[in-house]
Amino acid sequence: MILPRYLEIDLSSNKIQSFPISRSDYTMFLGGKALAAKILYDELSSNINPLTDENILVINTGPLTGTGAPSSSRFNISTKSPLTGLIASSNCGGIFGIRLRRAGFDGLVIRGRAPHPVYIELINEKVLIKDASDMWGLNTEEFQDRFDKKYGKLAIGPAGENLVLYACAVSGERAAGRCGIGAVMGSKNLKGLVANGNVPIPVTDEVKWRKYTARWMKALKQHPGTGNDMPRWGTAGFINKSNRSKVLPVHNFKEVSSDEAYKISGETLAEDFLERNSGCLSCPIRCERRVKHEGKDIKGPEYETIGLFGSNIGNYDLKPIIGWNRQADLLGMDTISLAGSIAFAMELQRKGIKDFGLTFDSTEGISESIDDIAHRRGVCAELAEGTRKLAEKYGEKANAMQVKGLEFASYDPRHTVGLGLGYATANRGACHLGGGFLTFLEVLSPVTFSGLTTGGKAALTVFFQNAMEAISLGGSCLFTAFTVIPPFLFGRKEDNLLGKAAGRLILLSSPIIKFLAMHPSLMRVKIFALFPHVEALEMVTGMKISTGDFIKYGERAFTIERMFNMREGLSKADDVLPERIMEDL
């Protein structure tokens, strides 16, 4: 067993030291957000200010990152969130995680605060902290363009420098978007990181590994969800289905569908703007949309951005959404929290409480407001604090669409109660990942069961929370979980008998799923069609891992994050949705 190698970097003292993760921590948590949460739980005191030098930033990878496993280029960033005051974890694709491992490091623990702007260079096991004073003020693209394309890069923009509470970190054109990671980097005077090298990433048996990854790659390419739908439409393809299923937010989640939603759908994006599809390194799914914007080939918006900068503010024109998405990426801001804060500002304006110069059903002033938020200037500077703080100041808490301080993703939970439970209980706030994955089964996939009923949903939510955490901490993209849906269910009419039967079977199985979630050691068999990640992790780590062990890793990840939050004062009373979501439509 080769233990992960981590670096501890103290920006206050310029002290750098390498250390291995202990065998016990590795076998208990593996990597990614689970191991990061363990480090934060052990080393952070409760109630610290997240934007002081007391906070710690953990940037790390999973065992599968960079190994050639399909869709496994992911890396994780964890810290204490300035937006929520709770644990933060944000996952990102691109090549930085791969280059970090090739530089010889599986993770970084960054402490302190540099006396002036700096960036960290990691090349072939050598580490330097370099002056970035002349780079402060650059947008995320300008910083990254200073370095050769072979490097993996991670950067903040002006939003991070100005401590916008939902500032993100950007790698290439992909973002570690949620929870204010970029603000923590900005508070440390850390403009970015670059990494590269040729240090090999070990696996136990190269020949077997290549055969296994080829099998996994083939399965993803042949599955209609990951081999056809996602490459063809990307996540934007969920817009029309969400609208038909009444989970698409409209006017700050006041309504749940719109007759005009087709104008911002994945089909319209493909017809009017799509140049080609693309994807992360070693990923066959190719869900990324490449579009033309102002004569430049750029990454197009995802479902979340389209929904929240579209129907949720009453806009049904994709062109400005593409521009705002690009603008937010350059400035370094999470588009979900940004658009959610803007929608709440529009709600305040509509009710005559506060005029931010932003109104529903109008795109006027939005681009200027985004720039003002990033630079904390003008009347929109307040929006840099996020929805919860705005609601605390101006009222309307019932209509502030957030949980634990984190803004809603672009799904209304009133017609997908499993998602609502996921929103309410997720450790980082209103997160559509983890337990929120249940919305895929309730309304978005060919499986059909009612999103309005509660029976069996608690057991399914717990199972998917644990499963998604396990996939993430291993270094894989959550879209690799789509193959759990049998291929023969795709390509049929909605509400077909087979889809209904599959949904009924899942719900009837919920007591068994609940029992297995409580006793994962009973899940000894490996089922490739369910979780190909299990055998892959075995082959990379050299450990014996069953399906039950895999689910247990996810459970530990969720639990230690919950423990961190409870130490910060969180209780089950905080696992609630806004009052608007409790209203009848």
Tokens of 173: 């054109």
Coil, strand, or helix at residue 332? Answer: coil
Rg (CA), the chain: 22
Nearest Cα neighbor of 577 from 436, 394, 386 is: 436
Tell whether the model's pLDDT for residue 201 goes beyond 80.
Answer: yes
pLDDT at 419: 94
CA–CA gap between residue 333 and residue 158 (Å, rounded): 9
pLDDT digits (tens, 9 = 90+) for 370-390: 999 999 999 999 999 999 999
Quote the percentage of the chain above a pLDDT of 70: 100
Please give the pLDDT value at position 437: 75
- 160 pLDDT band (50/70/90 cuts)? very high
**pLDDT recorded at residue 445:** 86
Q: Please write the tens of the pLDDT for every residue from 93-144.
A: 999 999 999 999 999 999 999 999 999 999 999 999 999 999 999 999 999 9
CA distance 465 to 433: 8
**Would you list the DSSP string of 104-143?**
T-SEEEEES--SS-EEEEEETTEEEEEE-GGGTT--HHHH
Contact of 227 with 483, CB cutoff 8 Å: no
Q: Give the helix/strand (H/E) hosting 87.
A: strand 87-92
Residues 6 or more apart in contact with residue 148 via CB below 8 angstroms: none
Beta bridge partners of 491: none
- Residue 49 CB coordination number (10 Å): 12
Helices (H), 2-118: 23-29, 32-43, 96-102
User: Closest Cα partner for 370 from 401, 317, 327?
Assistant: 327
Residue 39, pLDDT score: 98
Please name each of the domains of the chain with its CATH number. Answer: 5-196 (3.60.9.10), 234-395 (1.10.569.10), 413-582 (1.10.599.10)
Burial environment of residue 83 by CB neighbours within 10 A (0 to 12, 13 to 18, 19 or more)? buried
The predicted model gives 468-475 an average pLDDT of 97
Backbone angles phi, psi at 384, to 5 degrees: -65, -15
Could you give the count of Cα atoms lying within 13 Å of 556 in the half-sphere of its Cβ? 25
pLDDT, tens only, 73-93: 999 999 999 999 999 999 999
Q: Which helix H or strand E contains 61, and what residues bound it?
A: strand 57-61
Predicted local distance difference test score (pLDDT) of residue 516: 86
Residue with tokens 């869709």: 71
- pLDDT score recorded for residue 499: 87
pTM, rounded to two decimals: 0.97
Q: Are 157 and 183 in contact (CB under 8 A)?
A: no
The predicted pLDDT at position 74 comes to 97
Q: Two tokens at 321?
A: 């959404």
Tokens of 227: 């081999």
Say how far apart CA 174 and CA 250 lie, in whole Å.
26
- Measuring CA to CA, which residue among 181, 239, 137 is closest to residue 36? 181
Q: Which residues on neighbouring strands pair with residue 190, listed in sequence order?
A: 118
Indicate if the pLDDT at residue 545 is higher than 80.
yes
In this prediction, residue 563 carries a pLDDT of 98
Q: Specify the pLDDT at position 435.
A: 67
Q: Which residues contact 529 (CB under 8 A, 6 or more apart)?
A: 219, 483, 484
pLDDT at res. 584? 82
Q: Where are the beta strands (DSSP E) in 258-411?
A: 274-278, 288-293, 296-299, 402-403, 406-407
Average of per-residue pLDDT values in the chain: 96
- pLDDT band at residue 496, thresholds of 50, 70 and 90? confident
Confidence of residue 246 (pLDDT cuts 50, 70, 90): very high
Looking at residue 160, its amino acid is G
Strand partners, 176: 169
Q: Can you say how many angstroms the Cα of residue 565 is from the centroid of all Cα atoms in its chain? A: 19
pLDDT tens-digit readout, 38-71: 999 999 999 999 999 999 999 999 999 999 999 9
> Is residue 76 classed as helix, strand or coil in its secondary structure?
strand
